Structures are given as C-alpha cells and as structure tokens.
Amino acid sequence: MVQTFERDARTVWVMPRDEQMLVWFKIVRIANVQSVRWVLGALNSQPAPVSVRRAQAWCARMETAGMIDRAQLGGPGGSLVWATYQGTGIGKPNLYRQTTRHEVAVTAASARYAAAGYAWQRDERTRWSAGHLADGVALAPGWAELIEVELTPKRLPRYVSIFTAFRHRFRDGDMTAITYLCNAESARTVRDALHTLPAGREIADRVTVHEVYDRAGLWTGDALPDWLLIAADRASRR
C-alpha cells in the first residue's frame, strides 16, 4: 500500500519497499548507513549495496515522513539510523548503551545475509530451559543458521555453557548450523574454545568462524564474502 505524508508543503510517498525496510528496522532496531545501503540493495534483488548517496536520500525521505530518525555521533560507520514509533510502533533506542556497538554490528550481519538471499529474525526462544539465545537467525527454506556476533572474547567457562546449549538445540532440531562472526581477537578465542573444550569439540563440525569485523566493530567493504555466497547457495539447494 502506498501512503502519503504532508510535511512542510511537501508530499512524501511511502512505498511498499519503504515498508519492507521498516519491517527490517522493527527486527534489528538500529543500524548505520552502511547497513541501510546493503538492505536497499537486497530489496533491489542485488547482492551488493546501493550507493551512499542513495542510502542517504532514502534516510532523508523517510525522516521527512517521520518514519525514521538518525544521529551523527562522530564515530566510524556513518550516522546511526532507527525507525520511529510512527514507523514501527517501537520507541527510540538508547544510543549510548554499552551494547549499542554490538547491536549495530549484528545489524551489519543481518544486512549482508539479506543481500545473500536469507531472511532474518531474532532468536527468541529455545526448548531447553537453560538455552542460549543467539544474536540472530538467518533463514532459508529448510535452513536455520544461528548467528553469533563476537566482538569481545568470553571466558572459557562461558563458552562451555553456550556450546552445551547449542548441542541441545542441535539434538532438538532447532537449527542447522552456527556461524560466529568475529574480529581477529575473538575469532582466535572462539576457535581455541571449539578445539580445546569437550563441549566445543562435540559441535565443532557444524560451527564456522569468520573474521569480518575490524577492531571498532565495523564490517567494511562493498562485496559479499565468498563464504557467504557459497553458504547461501548451499542453503538454497537443500
């Protein structure tokens, strides 16, 4: 459905594609402009981002319509963007929480997976009462891939409980695979935990670890990594 909004003598058209973007924002809550580029590209059926200029133009148009808001906090990755209550029925996120960097990094993963043809949802429940919730779930027909965004290494006992929870979820058929998306330091820690902990070795053959973030927690570059394209092709063939 096409909606129109009158703002300062201007008519802003909210198209079905804009509504799809707002549905995505309702899931991820907060993004930077780079992630907006990727999801706009995905909605164009392209495995690549639109230009920064087009993403900024979309943000400006939706901001005029009252559907999104944005703030430039001076950090890397461009402005932070979120949907307003008018756009999604959800209030403004706290931009200054310690977890905001992690949330923006998760959104960057969601955007790349969208460009690769996956659907994305939050990991909201497990059958096992002591289960661990992942940062997101990438979905394809017959495929549910848990995504963990790891910017800060955890202590080994914590990995024991997480890997044990994942083992139960594999047993219960909740998921197909697990992917850890890390910076260099976290990738080393996760790989070490998978190979040295008994709980890690039990699931290691179904877990992949990729270094995609820099030290600031940014996923840069305008091309999908080969492993994601291969994974998307594998999932589509199931």
The arithmetic mean of pLDDT across residues 205-234, rounded, is 92
Tokens of 151: 């910017």
Q: What is the pLDDT of residues 87-139, one digit of tens each?
A: 999 999 988 888 999 999 999 999 999 999 999 999 986 665 567 899 999 99
Give the pLDDT score at 233.
Answer: 77
Q: Where are the domains of the chain?
A: 1-96, 116-238
Measure the CA–CA gap between 37 and 65, rounded to whole angstroms: 19
Q: Say if CB 55 and CB 99 are below 8 A apart.
A: no
The percentage of the chain sitting over the pLDDT mark of 70, rounded to a whole number, equals 89
- What is the CATH topology of the domain spanning 1-96? Arc Repressor Mutant, subunit A (1.10.10)
Give the pLDDT score at 37.
Answer: 97
Residue 102's Cα: distance from chain center in Å?
Answer: 10
Backbone phi and psi for residue 52, each to the nearest 5 degrees, phi listed first: -60, -40
Buried b (16+ CB within 10 A) or exposed e, 26-59: eebbbbbbbbbbbbbbbbeeebebbeeeebbebb
Tokens of 132: 């661990």
Is residue 45's pLDDT more than 80?
Answer: yes
Domains 1-96 and 116-238 share a fold: no
What is the CA angle 159-153-229, rounded to 5? 90
CATH of domain 116-238: 3.40.1350
The pTM of this model reads 0.91
Is residue 2's pLDDT more than 60?
Answer: no
Q: Say if CB 225 and CB 212 are below 8 A apart.
A: yes
Tokens of 179: 């992917």
- The model's confidence at residue 57, banded by pLDDT at 50, 70 and 90, is very high
Give the pLDDT score at 72.
Answer: 87
